Structures are given as C-alpha cells and as structure tokens.
C-alpha cells in the first residue's frame, strides 16, 4: 500500500515586513520558511498508518525550488520513505489548480492508494489543492478529516470530518481517495537526531513539468486559473465608545451614519 503526502514550504510572516516591488506578494527577505503546519498533521497520520501495518510506503511530494528540500528532509526525518520535488522556472506563478495538475501527474506515476493533504496552507489558506486534485483524478474525497481508521482489508477507511457549528460527520469511504487533514487529528512527532542524520543522506527525486508530461501552457501563470493582482495593508480604522442612554446611543449612531454617507 502506498500513501502520498503532498506538502508545502510556507513563509511565516513577522510583524515587520515589506511587499515586493510589484506589490503582488511579501518580500521573501522578511519571511521565515517552514513546513506547512497542516501538512505536519497529514504526514503524521500517514506515518502512524505505516507503523501500524506492514507493507505501507509513505511518499512526500512538494512543488517548489531547491530550498523546498528542507521541508522534504523534515518529512523523511519524521518517517516518510521517499521524497519527490517538482520544479523548474516555468512553474513560477503557479496557482492551486496548477499545483493540483502537477500532483495528479505524480499520482499517475506513483499509483498511491490514499492521498493525505493538509486541510489548507498556513500562508494563503485557499483550501483548494486537495479538492482540486481529487476532482482531476475523479477520486472520492473528504475534507477537514478529524479522525481516521483504515479497514483491515485496506480497501476502505472509517473517518470523521468537521462540519460547521461544532458538528462532526461519520462516514466510510472506499479507496483510492483524497483526504484533507485537519489540525488536532494527532500529535505530530519531533524528528529524532538519528532521523535527521539519515534524512540528510537520503536522495530526493527531482522532476520538471516536462518529466510529468505537462505542456508549458498548463503551468505557471499561463496555466493558472487565478492571479494575484495586488496585496496591500488595509488602512487602519478607528473605534469610538458610545455612552449614554439607549436613546442617546441610537441618536449618536444615526449621526455617525449620516456623516459617513455625507447627509
């Protein structure tokens, strides 16, 4: 059985930062990079299944430049068996849909039985990649999974998913499937010193979009279905504490509304 775990290297925003000259993202000089928190939980869930049964392989995969090797080595140190990184210059500007397209091509090569993604990324938070991947594959999928138990025959899984209002839904899903994993489903482990040393010596397979059989028009900004026009820091508003009787407060609110509307 093979478990595929897509992961992402995300930037952690500090209190002080500047935007790039084009105004479309944060200047990377003001960011610290690490493994996406949600992906840490999806990796842990895959490694737990591996440890609970024989013949299970965990493969971590990411889309990113050379620096993304760091998060893959963290995955290897925590128990992943292999790591794959996809990148070339043409992938710059790819959105969630393009990332899902690349991952779908990796799935065609690796033929996993189950895919774990984080419920969302800690930087952009679109929560689209896992669901888009399932759509491209035509696989069953469940989002925001908070509990998972693999059936003895490994043909299905019982799980719970979070709903609005604190509710949870219990279901059984047939494999293959794509699951997006929620925070709190487990407690991610720390990488051991031995694991870190072993991971440093393990090879990371690198692929380009051409290796995956994807043409230039389907990647980067050319293949993206969404585009960031600009980012900006919203102007700070002001607050006013309205005191007095209910009638006085109501009258003050009416005055404020009239001022805002220019009446």
Residue 260 domain-assigned (yes or no): no
pLDDT of residue 238: 79
pLDDT of residue 24: 87
Residue 234 domain-assigned (yes or no): no
Residue 112 domain-assigned (yes or no): yes
Residue 95 domain-assigned (yes or no): yes
Q: Looking at residue 103, which CATH number applies to its domain?
A: 3.40.50.620
Residue 237 domain-assigned (yes or no): no
Residue 252 domain-assigned (yes or no): no
Range of the domain at 180: 2-223
Residue 202 domain-assigned (yes or no): yes
pLDDT of residue 72: 98
Q: How many independent structural domains does the chain possess?
A: 1
pLDDT of residue 51: 96
| Interatomic CA distance for residues 138 and 240, integer angstroms | 53
pLDDT of residue 263: 74
Q: Which DSSP symbol is given to 25?
A: S
pLDDT of residue 167: 94
User: What residues of the chain score a pLDDT lower than 70?
Assistant: none
Angle at CA of residue 40, ends 199 and 74, nearest 5°: 15
| Interatomic CA distance for residues 49 and 9, integer angstroms | 24
| Interatomic CA distance for residues 95 and 7, integer angstroms | 15
pLDDT of residue 61: 98
- In this prediction the pTM is 0.87
Residue 21 domain-assigned (yes or no): yes
């Amino acid at each position: 059985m093979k478990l595929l775990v897509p992961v992402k290297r995300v930037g952690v925003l500090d209190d002080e930062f500047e935007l790039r000259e084009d105004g479309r993202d944060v200047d990377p000089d003001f960011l610290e990079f690490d493994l996406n928190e949600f992906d840490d939980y999806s990796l842990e869930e895959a490694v737990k299944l591996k440890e609970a049964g024989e013949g299970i392989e965990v493969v971590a995969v990411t889309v990113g430049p050379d620096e993304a090797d760091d998060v893959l080595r963290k995955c290897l140190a925590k128990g992943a068996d292999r790591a794959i990184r996809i990148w070339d210059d043409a992938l710059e500007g790819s959105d969630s849909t393009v990332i899902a397209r690349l991952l779908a091509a990796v799935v065609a090569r690796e033929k996993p039985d189950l895919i774990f993604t984080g419920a969302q990324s800690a930087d952009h938070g679109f929560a689209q990649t896992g669901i888009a991947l399932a759509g491209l594959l035509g696989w069953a999928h469940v989002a925001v999974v908070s509990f998972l138990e693999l059936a003895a025959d490994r043909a299905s899984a019982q799980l719970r998913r979070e709903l609005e209002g604190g509710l949870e839904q219990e279901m059984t899903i047939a494999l293959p499937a794509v699951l997006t994993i929620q925070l709190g489903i487990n407690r991610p482990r720390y990488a051991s010193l031995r694991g870190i040393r072993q991971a440093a010596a393990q090879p990371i397979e690198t692929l380009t979009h051409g290796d995956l059989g994807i043409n230039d028009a389907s990647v980067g900004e050319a293949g993206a279905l969404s585009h960031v026009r600009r980012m900006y820091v919203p102007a700070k508003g002001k607050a006013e504490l309205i005191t007095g009787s209910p009638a006085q407060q109501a009258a003050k609110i009416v005055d404020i509304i009239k001022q805002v509307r220019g009446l």
